[in-house]
Structure 1
Amino acid sequence: MSKLMHLDLSHNYIRDIADIADIPSRVVATMDFSYNQIDHIPPEIGKFYFELYYLYLNDNKLANIPTDIFLLKYLKRVDLQRNPFPADEATAIKTKFQSTIPNCLLTV
């Protein structure tokens, strides 16, 4: 499992990804957690998966995201659609992505 490049855990009724740091590979290019019940992203995602390119968290129960996610400078695509972000949080997320990772395609 040390060569894991693409992790697809979509459509699994997952509520908690707190143990994400336990994934042995640190060069995961794609993480797909879409269509689950996740309401919290652990801040470790920004520290451990610095080579992450694609992050799919759409259709979950997120109301915010950790600031460490903006450390992921290689991100090309982040999908956060259909999460219950308050309007001001969605705007803040867009603004922060535009200023820190401007080449990332973000959908909120």
Structure 2
Amino acid sequence: MGCVESQTVLITQWPRSIVTHKNSPVEMHCYQNNTDYTYVYWYKQSGKHIQLVVMLVGDIPNYEEEFKSGFKAVKSGKQWSVNITSAQEKDGAVYLCAASLHSDVHSSGL
């Protein structure tokens, strides 16, 4: 039997909630407290539906088609952020971040 070693990733995400006006910019952040993983992700959850917004490999963002316009993701060291340049009603949701050593997290059936 083989042994798979796993490392826990502790991530701090802020702000906890955002109230804004239509067409205003919104900024959200995450920080890897004890790791510096290469692959980082932002997800959007609306009800039971979760979809990938962007995957950053190093500091290069790869946006899903629906989020190529109006979203800007950046990574600097252990912190990464996503900006919605002009928030609309359809952007109202829960946004979640994740980090991984591997690039297959976005296809895990979330």
User: Structure 1-normalised TM-score?
Assistant: 0.25
Between Structure 1 and Structure 2, the one with more helix by share is 1
Between Structure 1 and Structure 2, the one with more strand by share is 2
Highest relative contact order (Cα 8 Å, sep 6+), 1 or 2?
Answer: 2
User: Structure 2-normalised TM-score?
Assistant: 0.24
